[in-house]
Amino acid sequence: MDKFSFISNAHPQYIEGLYNDFRANPESVEEEFRQFFTGYEFASTNFAEPSSFSSDEFKVYNLIQAYRNIGHLVADTNPLRPRKDRGAKLSIQHFGLQEADLKKTFQVGSELGLGPVSLERILEHLRKCYNGTIGFEFNFIRNDEERLWFKAKIEQNPNFVQTGIDKKTKILRNLNKAVVFEEFLGKKFIGEKRFSLEGGESTIPALDAIIHTASNVGVKQVVLGMAHRGRLNILANIMGKTYEEVFGEFEGLYSKETMGSGDVKYHKGYSSMYPLDKGGEIYIKLSPNPSHLEAVNPVVEGLARANGDILFDSDYSKVLPILIHGDANNQIGFTTDFDEARSSDYSSAIASMIQAPVIHVNGDDVEAVVFACEMATEYRQKFSKEIFIDMVCYRKHGHNESDDPKYTQPTMYEIISKKKNPRDMYGEKLAQQGEIEQALVKQMDLEFRNDLQARLDNVKQKGHHL
């Protein structure tokens, strides 16, 4: 159980009454409350300016707990439109506080590591922690150690941004590859199904972040399972399948060694050594998958388990399975709206069944996405448990590129048609911050586009036997 549930569940006036009882006779209250009041008095006599007890402290404490519990419901995670109202009550009035209290100092600010500070300051901190572009859904987990780890990660420094120009440029470069690759395929192979990643381009820097973090915390092998959405992009930009191979498949060239009937290009697997920034490389494998979206998941988990048994003497921390639930995700299925598709708040609701935390993150804020991925990977290694990253993004086109999504979602697709891609958004942000020259994005775009064109020309001239 949550350590403080006996307080947060209780009415402030009731607690105030108990406190008065405690002051008259400490033995007159239950053990839990006696300990709490003793601690409270200790803290206020030793660390704070002497103040008379105020039941408002409990109100603020309840407010803090509420942000930890349900702050994610109002976090700014949707890149397209305001969140649906999920009934999260987080106004100070709901906790019995008034505007006038905003300037008052509260001891319970220490709970957030701020020391005694104004309610205004506490609120500002809470909003930064829990209502930004990341929504942390973790406080339902029963293991104290996990909850404390989350709180520390979030509340000590709620700037979920990346630092260092090298890292930022790398993120931009990865976004550029993701964006240009899709645009290029779209222009060169008109009408061909590619199940583009567009709208979810942050997946490429996200996977790069997971793989790099994993390699720093003892992982020797990464096994991926995913459906068709964005798969060609991941095959080329993460898995190391050459652009020539992908173009060759669009051109209808296929391997002479193919033994059987083969499969469509966006179902195929691949494995390679992924180069690491610090030098060296790590083995990554993408399992082939059928059209049945989630069927590959247990297969990948079983394969990861077997590799742990065979290669690492049953040390399963050495193998990291990643499952990407790419299609029919947080906004839309083929044409099914999220509200028709589920009764739960989130597409990740199944996580609560296995006490797995969820990090909801706005796919347009790529630095936050990278933060979420790094944090999630550390969590998995530290606690040997699953964790979900719910990257809320969107599908730029219809189910495939020649399909019209406006038949069923006209207003959402009106919004999408006017949106800038995540690379342009990030490029502008970095330019505004003075981190890069404005021209860098254009230059990256052109260089990569020319590179792809040269490779395509080569495939068309020579034919490419895979």
Measured from the CB of residue 220, what is the shortest distance to other proteins in angstroms?
Answer: 14
Considering only 199-207, 257-265, 389-397, 441-449, which stretch makes contact with other proteins by CB under 8 A?
257-265
Q: In sequence order, what are the beta bridge partners of 332?
A: 337
CB nearer other proteins, residue 10 or residue 253: 253
Under rule CB under 8 A, which residues in 381-420 are in contact with other proteins? Answer: none
d(CA 358, CA 135): 8
Measured CA distances, 153 to 150, 279, 387 (Å) = 5, 28, 15
Q: What single-letter amino acid sits at 410?
A: P
CB nearer other proteins, residue 122 or residue 226: 226
Sequence-ordered strand ranges (E) for 67-197: 105-106, 117-118, 134-137
Q: Copy the structure tokens of residue 308.
A: 């742990």
- Please, which contacts does 301-307 make with residues 24 or more away whose CB atoms are closer than 8 Å? 303/223, 304/223, 307/221, 307/223
Binds other proteins (CB under 8 A): choice among 25, 46, 261, 433: 261
CB nearer other proteins, residue 104 or residue 305: 305
- Build a one-symbol-per-residue string for 351-370: x at contacts with other proteins by CB under 8 A, - elsewhere: --------------------
Q: In sequence order, what are the beta bridge partners of 358?
A: 137, 388
Spatial neighbors of 1 by CB under 8 A, at least 6 apart, are 142
Report the length, in residues, of the chain.
Answer: 466
Read out DSSP for 175-231? HHHHHHHHHHHHHHSTT------TT-TTHHHHHHHHHHHHHHTT--EEEEEE-STTH
**Which is it for strands 221-226 and 270-275: parallel, antiparallel or unpaired?**
unpaired
Binds other proteins (CB under 8 A): choice among 142, 187, 256, 292: 292
Binds other proteins (CB under 8 A): choice among 168, 268, 397, 399: 268
d(CA 443, CA 173): 11
Measured from the CB of residue 398, what is the shortest distance to other proteins in angstroms?
Answer: 24
Binds other proteins (CB under 8 A): choice among 295, 350, 415, 446: 295
Q: How many chain residues are in contact with other proteins, going by CB under 8 A? A: 29
CB nearer other proteins, residue 161 or residue 295: 295
CB nearer other proteins, residue 334 or residue 407: 334
Read out DSSP for 325-339? --SS-SSBSSS-BHH
Distance of CA 75 to the CA centre of its chain: 12
Measured from the CB of residue 258, what is the shortest distance to other proteins in angstroms?
Answer: 8
Measured from the CB of residue 52, what is the shortest distance to other proteins in angstroms?
Answer: 57
Measured from the CB of residue 388, what is the shortest distance to other proteins in angstroms?
Answer: 17
Binds other proteins (CB under 8 A): choice among 260, 279, 340, 353: 260
Under rule CB under 8 A, which residues in 296-315 are in contact with other proteins? Answer: 296-307, 309-310
Closest by Cα among 119, 79, 105 to 200: 79
- Build a one-symbol-per-residue string for 310-349: x at contacts with other proteins by CB under 8 A, - elsewhere: x---------------------------------------
Measured from the CB of residue 355, what is the shortest distance to other proteins in angstroms?
Answer: 17
CB nearer other proteins, residue 294 or residue 447: 294
Measured from the CB of residue 116, what is the shortest distance to other proteins in angstroms?
Answer: 51
Considering only 48-56, 286-294, 334-342, 387-395, which stretch makes contact with other proteins by CB under 8 A?
286-294
Binding site for other proteins (CB under 8 A): 258-263, 267-269, 287-288, 290-292, 295-307, 309-310
